Amino acid sequence: MPSLFEHLRTVFLYNSLVDLTHQNIDLPKFELVTLSDAQFIEKFKRSLILGEKLVLQIKPEKVGVIPTIRINGKLAEVRKVNDLVFEVDYLPASSGKYSIEVVVNDQRLLSGFEVLKPEFNYDIEKSELSAMVGTTSIITLNPSMLKGKSFEFSSPKANVNRINNRLEITPNEEGLFEVVMSESGKVLDKLVMFAHPAAAIDVALMDIAGKNASLDKANRLECVNPYWQVVNFQMSIVTPDGTHRTLKNATRFLRNELRELENTAPKGSTIVFENIKLVGQKSGSTQMGKPIIMVK
């Protein structure tokens, strides 16, 4: 329909000029060519993401011929690369469909391209949409969406860290949550993920330096996953004759009473660290750690 209206305007203007001047007017005649038949233009991207430039390269067959390019009906700035190569760098201001008209000598090309809104564009095969509380999942972004962009990624229910084209996402609570993509404070798109409750978490005896240690050299219980921190636990000792004794510990550190209980236990006793309560360092959510069982 827009083309029909433009044609109607042209016919009206032409006949008005003929009537006013009382003479025939020779309008320039063009050969309308398709994109596949146009030898004077290099292939260009027909689909862009908002913020990405359209690059057109035109190569007239004759020296001295300057192409005319219109985008959405407006003249585009043409840069001369050399005598036979001209280039257009066009940055679309908004998303939508754009028309392109290229005139070289008596050939006219009508084409177009589309500008898409920025959206979460990620590699499905290299991404994990199903996460676990306290465990980091990776979303691999397609590099094309990040060229020249200053996107920000955040979530009210997860810690989000971007490293190049990777998002490291650590949920703070179970259930559905959103990762928001924004630019200069404006929300552009959202990705919905699901966080499963954490399974029993590995806990280890560690020394002052934070390295795994034997019971005689350890000074605390610590989670293997640094997201979680031990809050309290209990230590039970079962001697070879079946005697059972349990002490509760209100911190992650091995207090003197625990040391004394372990030192006085006879050889062959079973030592169990159990009911280990953990808390998420940022979320405050709680979880249980896997028991540690050893024989003296």
Helix (H, G, I), strand (E, B) or coil at 291: coil
The DSSP annotation for 117-174 comes to: PP---B-GGG---EEETTB-EEEEB-GGGGTT---EEE-TTEEEEEETTEEEEEESSS
Task: In whole angstroms, give the CA distance from residue 14 to residue 26.
Answer: 10
Backbone angles phi, psi at 8, to 5 degrees: -60, -40
Contacts of residue 205, Cβ cutoff 8 Å, sequence gap at least 6 = 212, 213, 214, 215, 218, 220, 221, 222, 273, 292
Is residue 227 a contact partner of residue 280, using CB atoms and an 8 Å limit? yes
pLDDT at 90: 92
Backbone angles phi, psi at 47, to 5 degrees: -135, 120
pLDDT digits (tens, 9 = 90+) for 21-69: 766 666 556 666 667 767 778 788 888 887 788 999 988 888 888 899 9
CA–centroid distance for 219 within its chain: 41
Backbone angles phi, psi at 16, to 5 degrees: -65, -45
pLDDT at 174: 83
pLDDT at 3: 66
pLDDT at 235: 92
Please give the chain's pLDDT, 296 residues, in tens.
766 777 788 778 777 877 777 666 665 566 666 677 677 787 888 888 877 889 999 888 888 888 999 999 899 999 988 888 999 999 998 888 999 999 888 888 888 899 888 778 888 888 887 888 888 999 998 887 776 678 899 999 999 999 988 999 999 888 889 999 998 888 888 888 988 887 778 999 999 888 999 888 899 999 988 888 999 999 999 888 878 899 999 999 999 898 888 888 898 888 999 999 999 877 677 888 889 988 88
